[in-house]
Amino acid sequence: MAVWRGPRSLQGRATLITVLIFALVLGIGALATSAGLRYKALGAVTDGASRAARVAVREVHRGMPDGTVPTNAVGWLQVVDRAGRVVAASPMMRGMPPISRMWPGPDDTRVVDDPCVTVPGAGRTCFVVVGLQDRSSPYGDVMVYAAERKPPLLAGHTLEGALTAFCLILLGLVGWGTWCLVGRALEPVRRMRAEMAEIAASGLSHRIAVPASGSELNTLIESINGTLDRLEHAREMERRFASDASHELRTPLTGLRTKLELALADPEAEDSALTMRSALKDAERLQAVIDDLLTLARLDAGARPEPRRVDLAELVTGEMEQRPSRHEVLMRLHPGVVVRGDRLQLSRVLTNLLANAERHAAGMIEVNVCQNGDDAVLEVVDDGQGVPEADRERIFQRFTRLDTARSREAGGTGLGLSIARDIATAHGGTLYATDRLRGEGARFVLRLPLSGDVETPPGGTGDAHRPGKTEKTGRTRQG
């Protein structure tokens, strides 16, 4: 069996709910109004008949030789004895049967009745009758009845019909007004939907127009436009990344394929070992690019290994023992500078910064670890040409090289600094480039929050370049 679920549109539902609420309120109001008006009208008629009955009782005691009850405010009067005979009546009731046969109980002298009788010349007529018992009248124990015509308000259901018609008209107006108001309120939403459909068809470069009304929808539209900005930027970054990645992968693949084709075309023209070493170099570069792309993919996916305590001084010492350098390396390491993070990822940051310094240093590299306030600071400084101020943010973009030929010759993929910044951001820190404090060169500064369970070492706060444990190494890269 199908179940009616009401209108599907928000406009229809709002209109239906509003009409139902008003119908309930108006229904209760109409019932209360009908009951109140009926009670008031009946009370007024009953009071008038009671007064006329009391006057008629006094007249009956004076005696009426001709059996005619004089009329005062009410013309419908009868005096009826125990046998049900009309012993006296007003001129309007002469010759009519008893208008009521109700008698009060033993402890009462008053009755109220609402009979409908046939009146000569008026047809069937309904009355409100008040009867008073008079046990000592000249006619004996009698009932004096005074009757008032029922007003049209009480005679039928005219009042209820009028109230019902009024409620239906008012509900119709309420429904129409609600439909129009809700439709007008939803008109900006319809325009937004049309503009969003146009954006989906034409591209993310379009934006939804912000109305000048200053309504609550303006905030929603601004949020949607901001989301579209981010989506367009992400799409552009994805397109650029795919283009750069394909270009970076194509270069070593093309070289590798060319060398292999030449070797196959003329196997005796060149030493096979030399060809294999050259091909291996291209394969290593290809593997480096792929590894960096996988690392970026994991970082973009939000992979967060379980953080552990990492002593930055121990991290730098262990890395430098395993990494030969063709430059003199000066290390200033404060002990006890501990952060929480993934040791492998933080080692990747240090490795990338050191590799960048190796490519650009003239003769010396400095590695500093210290504490500055609530931050742990790791610096890698080289004495090369430095990074121009205008390019200090651009170098952290993917596949960005300020000196493309030299970077490729040195084996850089253009992703090292981008990976290092993404790892720093994932650990709640920052990575930026600035000038060397003394002389020419570049300084890369990694700032990470200190681990909360680490005590501040004496003298470990303040200047980020306060000297600590200093070591010098001078190793020469082999091969």
Q: What is the DSSP string of 409-455?
A: HTT--S-HHHHHHHHHHHTT-EEEEEE-SSSS-EEEEEEEEBPTT-P
Tokens 């009755």 identify what position? 111
SS (H, E, C) 147-209: EEECCHHHHCCHHHHHHHHHHHHHHHHHHHHHHHHHHHHHHHHHHHHHHHHHHHHHCCCCCCC
Tokens 């209109």 identify what position? 15
Share in percent of the chain as helix, strand, coil (round to 5): 50, 20, 30
Q: What is the DSSP string of 443-454?
A: EEEEEEEBPTT-
pLDDT reported for residue 453: 60
Per DSSP bridges, beta strands 364-372 and 430-435 are: unpaired
Helix (H/G/I), strand (E/B), else coil: 47: helix
Rounded Cα gap, residues 281 and 479, in angstroms: 13
Rounded Cα gap, residues 135 and 81, in angstroms: 10
Rounded Cα gap, residues 55 and 456, in angstroms: 109
Within 10 A of 97 (CB to CB), how many other CB atoms are there? Answer: 13
Query: In 327-415, which ranges are continuous DSSP H helix?
Result: 343-360, 404-409
What is the widest separation between alpha-carbon atoms in the chain? Answer: 162
pTM value? 0.49
Rounded Cα gap, residues 31 and 24, in angstroms: 11
The first and second tokens of residue 312, run together, are 């930055």
Within 10 A of 257 (CB to CB), how many other CB atoms are there? Answer: 12
Mean pLDDT (10-residue bins), the chain, 479 residues: 64 90 93 89 87 84 70 79 86 85 86 84 82 86 87 77 92 93 85 81 76 74 84 76 69 76 69 73 74 70 74 90 84 91 87 88 91 92 87 81 50 74 88 84 92 54 44 42
How far CA 241 is from CA of 249, 399, 405, in Å, comes to: 12, 8, 20
| Cα angle value 345/351/355 (rounded, 5°) | 150
pLDDT in tens, 183-236: 888 888 888 888 888 777 777 777 777 877 666 778 888 888 888 888 887 777
pLDDT reported for residue 263: 73
Rounded Cα gap, residues 122 and 35, in angstroms: 28
pLDDT reported for residue 303: 64
**Strand (E) positions, 72-202?**
76-81, 86-89, 110-113, 116-119, 123-137, 140-149
- Residues facing residue 298 across a β-bridge: none
Rounded Cα gap, residues 51 and 148, in angstroms: 11
pLDDT reported for residue 409: 46
Residue type, 113: D
The first and second tokens of residue 78, run together, are 């009868």
- The sheet carrying 442-449 orders its strands as 430-435, 442-449, 375-382, 364-372, 328-333, 469-474
Helices (H) and strands (E) in the chain, counts: 9, 14
